[in-house]
Structure 1
Amino acid sequence: MNISVLGCGRWGTFIAWYVNKVGHNVMLWGRENSKNYIGLKENRKNDYLTLPEEIELSHSLENAISQAETIIISISAQELRSFAKRLNSINEIEGKTFVLCMKGIEADSGKRLSQVIDEEIGKRINIAVWVGPGHVQDFVRNIPNCMVIGSDDVEVTKRLASELNSDLIRFYYGQDMIGNELGAATKNVMGVAAGMLDGLQYSSLKGSLMARGTREISRLVRAMGGNDITIYGLSHLGDYEATLFSEHSHNRRFGQAFVEGQTFEKLAEGVSTVKAVKELSNMYEVELPICNALYEILFEDKNAKETLEDLFLRPVKFEF
């Protein structure tokens, strides 16, 4: 099968490596002038892995679309709408399957990423998502994990899971696009909160964060029409270990750096997702105390230590 991967950052490059490893022909697309693309073109490796020679590199979006039946997108979530507009102008797009491998929500609108690409490209394509736990650093050392592939079309879900399944990544069928997308995006929000707790030397409160965070997001999923039980699956709770505790998690590391007064240069999607979830909280009239506290810290200059102490340590009330 011919598969193209659009985006050559850490995760996109890994996906190309993985899809090739499970037996598919792969083209990896990147922007011609991007640092990641130039580095891969020059020596076929990044900080995490070396690309096999059979993976074709291209900066032509038209070539990447025309040669593949399945196209996997791994770019910044906030860039998806403008990127989808560009994809929509390509003639060969009709009938192809696009798999979104990003975990985020559009910050300005609160829309899920499948909604964003559906609005821009519409009924011309099949849309699926690939979410769940896992770090490149572990996968390339042959440490396995479980992930989720979901689509509104169960036949697309089954086909993708069958084509991509292996002993390294065991795929489960996602049955709830709302829950899986929202869960995947908001686990990054909880990762930022976990990093702040680490930076404040309150790491023991991460258990409370996990218990209360899942409850909070499940209420939002239910209000949006999804299945609140999905939050306790792989897309959200199942990804907490990789996001709230791992040294590799960009979101956790961002949160820790933030409260320690340090700069963190890499992409932490959870920051934009905090804005999006604030929008959803207002739109669906759902109280989200953890997400709201993070919004106040990140965007309203509230003191992180005082705000998180108020959130976790001072209320006296029934747990459920």
Structure 2
Amino acid sequence: MKISVIGCGRWGSFIAWYLDRREHEVTLYGRASSSHLKRFREERTNGLITLPETVQLESDLGKALESEVIIISVNSQGLRALMQEIEPFKVRNRTFVLCMKGMEISTGKRLTEVVEEYMEDTSAVAVWLGPGHVQEFYRGIPNCMVIDSRDEKVKERLIESFSSDLIRFYYGNDLIGNEIGGATKNIIGIAAGMLDGLGLSSLKGALMSRGTREISRLIEAMGGNVLSAYGLCHLGDYEATVFSQFSHNRKFGESFVRGTEYTSLAEGYYTVEAIMKISEEHHVDLPICRAVYDVLFHGKDPKETLNSLFVRSLKEEF
């Protein structure tokens, strides 16, 4: 299969490395100005991943779009701008696979909805979600992930082509639930990091339990399957997001409450703003997401705000 990966950051470069191992014809695309692409061209490595010579490096978007499968791994808030760049090429019969987890702040749309605005009717879109960190995959530590799409044939083809002993893919059957679950687990990750930074790590068990229930209500309100929150897209990704030393969102939350600078991308920061808009539209109470939002965007005291989550009025657990 001829595959192009758009986005040569940490995750995109891993995907190129992984799919090359699956014996696909892989091209990794980055802008000509990309420092990541420049380093790969000079050294074939970014410090985490070393790409074999069989992975082609490309800075010409038109050439990258010649592949039948286009995997996108960019900042979620930059997806629309990328699709606007792709639209003039009028590519047909392509499969777009999104490997990011987030929501568009300006519209509150899921990322597949953004892509569908620009792709031709003959093309399809899928999502690749679930737990796992580049550092662990590259060392040969396996994990399970999920691929979902409204197009059953596309989903089946991708899973059969991408599955290996390193990543076992499951068939998703709820695109709404999987996208929302994947995006919001980053918010829970930030909350977990805040608890770590405040010395309240023992509350992370309660955070996981209540967080999953909270997101399941949102998924249900949006027309998805309530059980999706308990699958690989959300609860199944908690170990990698809530506890792992490699979790950007957890580390961002910890750094934030400690007042230290953190410069890596934490998608949950952007997602929580979009989720607040969606929760109002669907009239769903999201106390954990609201607490994270209030701390990040309204200057609320982290310890007081997070503590208040666990001393709310007495109520039934379920």
1:88 equivalenced with 2:87 (yes/no): yes
1:316 matched to which residue of 2?
A: 314
Q: Indicate the residue corresponding to 2:294 in structure 1.
A: 296
| Secondary structure at 2:65 match in 1 | helix
| 1:7 matched residue in structure 2 | 7
Distance 1:139 1:262 in 2: 29
- Structure 1 window deviating more from structure 2 (308-317 vs 132-141): it is 308-317
Looking at structure 2, the residues matched to 89 and 186 of structure 1 have their Cα atoms a distance apart, in angstroms, of 32
**CA drift at 1:121:** 2.2
| Structure 1 residue ranges without an equivalent (≥5) | none
Residue 36 of structure 1 aligns with which residue? 36
Cα separation, 2, equivalents of 1:313 and 1:245: 23
Query: Which amino acid is the alignment partner of residue 139 of structure 2?
Result: R
Q: CA deviation at 1:119?
A: 1.4
Letter of the structure 1 residue corresponding to residue 8 of structure 2:
C
1:207-222 paired onto structure 2 within 5 Å: 207-222=205-220
C-alpha distance in structure 2 between counterparts of 1:120 and 1:292, whole Å:
32
What's the counterpart of residue 252 of structure 2? 254
Separation of aligned partners in 2, 1:266 and 1:44: 22
Deviation by residue 1:92-137 (Cα, 9 ceiling, x = unmatched): x101101000000111211100001111225242100000000000
Report the 3-state secondary structure (helix = DSSP H, G, I; strand = E; otherwise coil) of the residue aligned with 1:82. helix
User: Residues of 2 paired with 1:47 and 1:111: CA distance?
Assistant: 34
Q: Distance in 1 between matches of 2:88 and 2:69?
A: 18
For residues 166 and 180 of structure 1, the distance between their equivalents in structure 2, rounded to whole angstroms, comes to 21
User: What is the CA–CA distance in structure 1 between the aligned matches of 2:276 and 2:118, rounded to whole Å?
Assistant: 24
Residue in 1 aligned with 2:130? 132
* Structure 2 counterpart of 1:205, one-letter code: L
Is 1:224 the counterpart of 2:226? The answer is no
- Alpha-carbon shift at residue 38 of structure 1 (Å): 1.2
> Which amino acid in the other structure matches residue 97 of structure 2?
V
Partner of 2:284: 286
How far apart, CA to CA, are the structure 2 residues paired with 1:315 and 1:41? 58
Q: Distance in 1 between matches of 2:317 and 2:94?
A: 47
Q: CA deviation at 1:312?
A: 1.7
Letter in 2 for 1:4: S
Matched residues in 2 for 1:50 and 1:174: separation? 31
- Of residues 149, 154, 157, the one that matches 2:155 is 157
1:309 is paired with a residue whose SS is: helix
Q: Which residue of structure 1 lines up, in the alignment, with residue 242 of structure 2? A: 244
Q: Within 2, Cα distance between the matches of 1:50 and 1:303?
A: 43
Report SS of the residue matched to 2:119. helix
CA contact (8 A) 1:194 1:203 kept: yes
Q: Which amino acid aligns with 1:76?
A: N
3-state SS, counterpart of residue 160 of structure 1: helix
Structure 1: which 4+ aligned runs deviate by more than 4 Å? none
Matched, 1:63 2:63: yes
Q: 1:182 aligns with which of 151, 171, 180?
A: 180
SS of the residue corresponding to residue 205 of structure 1 reads: helix
Q: TM-score, normalised by structure 2?
A: 0.99
- Unaligned runs of 5+ residues in structure 2 are none
1-side partners of 2:301 and 2:260: how far apart?
A: 15
**2:202 alignment partner, one of 194, 201, 204:** 204
Match of 2:121, SS state, is: helix
- Alignment of 1:168 onto 2:166: yes
Identical columns (%): 55
**Which SS does the other structure have where 2:169 is aligned?**
strand
Q: How does 1:89-108 map to 2 (within 5 A)?
A: 89-91=88-90, 93-108=91-106
Q: TM-score w.r.t. structure 1 length?
A: 0.98
The CA deviation string for residues 26-64 of structure 1, in whole angstroms up to 9 with x for no partner, is 000001111111111111101211000110001001001
Matched-pair contact (CA < 8 Å) for 1:85–1:121: no
Contact 1:108/1:275 (8 A) holds in 2: no
Deviation at 1:316, TM superposition (A): 2.3
| Contact 2:26-2:55 within 8 A present in 1 as well | yes
- Count residues with an aligned counterpart: 318
Instruction: State the distance in 2 between where 1:35 and 1:97 align.
Output: 27
Q: Tell me, in whole angstroms, the C-alpha distance in 1 between the residues paired with 2:57 and 2:207.
A: 42
Quote the offset at 1:77 in angstroms.
0.4
SS at match of 1:302: coil
Q: Aligned Cα RMSD in Å? A: 0.9
In the alignment, which residue of structure 1 is the partner of 2:269? 271
**Which amino acid counterpart does residue 236 of structure 2 have in structure 1?**
G
